[in-house]
Structure 1
């Protein structure tokens, strides 16, 4: 099943078009890495997919017109982790993660007959991201990396089939970066899908089933990691030289230096 379909999607800020007639589909079982240089239009594409910025073109979630859906209906189909990982409210970590269940609630928390089930979902999301020990801490008092893990847990608690994440590994240490990518990959394998904006080419190569490379608001390349993450493409789009190797654990991509014009 196709979980997200973008057809001719365009975004403009004033006279500047930052996303230009992009068409893209995300299906069940896919973990798609959205990569590209700064300013390529990646974040704008994610936000436009959710109706957070004005855009032209068609946006479908589960074959339904996203623009005709209520906020709760849309939130039951797609969970979003924004690029801004700040938490403004001085509430407990558990309360932040519980917010992921809002689209599924029939009424106020205390009146929900599924409260035991709801608590189990929240507990599982926190356990997945290794933050169960932080449940009673104020979210505003956490480190940057801990806040990212709390927000990922909130998205997981939403139990939406599609995850959209903007730089989900930013601020995480290497171990938690791997946990994040493992979690998104497992979500895809279980029948969902994930589309994540990534700057770490090594993580994208190791974990993503498909890579979409954006450049100047357009899709410059799309396909399996080994087909997109080539030395030639990365030199042209990013201006970098990379080390690449096929290993037992998959493709390894390590940027080495900037390619200087002759």
Structure 2
């Protein structure tokens, strides 16, 4: 997935300014940065949801030339939040990921997707009765169902675009979801995830793009970009990363942070 010269205007305000970006299959690419820096807007542009200047290519094809069903076959999008107006059961929500294929496809994939996100046995429960974190995992099962195989039969990678996929989850389920995303990438798919938690970003991401004011301010492997000078400049407060002794993974302690 490649973006070149991306500009997005919402109303009279230009939110993204000439953004260049590359995400590779086989990797988990995280998009991080302060609130209002353009992370979600950029992910919506990558998904084809927002009109944009510049070019975005998915598996070598300009997304502007792809019909909605062609995009849906190659990438699935998990938004920050989803509203459902009808009393769907959990399995009915997950089956939405099958789209037009639902008539010809049995329930094996939706059921397997529910099990993968830790919701085995929830199929017949009503979606509206679940907690916020459970609902978030139902939608993750839905998008997994949409692009269940990380690599298509012809060898084309599929993509997960995830907007704050762990925002409503406890630490155990945060780790579970991030492990699912990393496993999808390791199986040959591509994952682009908007992240707020810098520690989870450092643990799971292969590459990080740090946004500030609608631009990418730093990009590279976590160890390269998660440094005091870079993070302090982007987040507007003093952040001093440490490293775990064995794996040398950067981590940050809020107790050590200080407002600039």
* Deviation (angstroms), 1:191: 0.3
State which of 142, 145, 154 in structure 1 corresponds to 2:142: 154
**Stretches of 4+ moved more than 4 A in 1?**
none
Secondary structure of 1:213's counterpart equals strand
d(CA) in 2 for partners of 1:142 and 1:180?
18
* Deviation (angstroms), 1:124: 1.4
State which of 53, 56, 71 in structure 2 corresponds to 1:56: 53
Secondary structure of 1:52's counterpart equals coil
* Deviation (angstroms), 1:151: 0.5
Residue ranges of structure 1 left out of the alignment (5+ in a row): none
TM-score (norm 2): 0.91
Aligned to 2:117: 129
Aligned residues: 249
Aligned to 1:246: 244
CA contact (8 A) 1:86 1:147 kept: no
CA contact (8 A) 2:31 2:208 kept: yes
Aligned to 2:37: 40
Secondary structure of 2:239's counterpart equals strand
Please, which moves more after superposition, 137-146 or 8-17?
8-17
Aligned to 2:166: 169
State which of 94, 103, 111 in structure 2 corresponds to 1:97: 94
**Correspondence 1:14 to 2:11:** yes
TM-score (norm 1): 0.90
RMSD: 1.5
Cα 1:102/1:250, change in 2 over 3 Å: farther
Could you give the per-residue CA deviations for residues 115-137 of structure 1, whole angstroms, max 9, x where no partner exists?
33xx2111111111011221111
d(CA) in 1 for partners of 2:35 and 2:245?
29
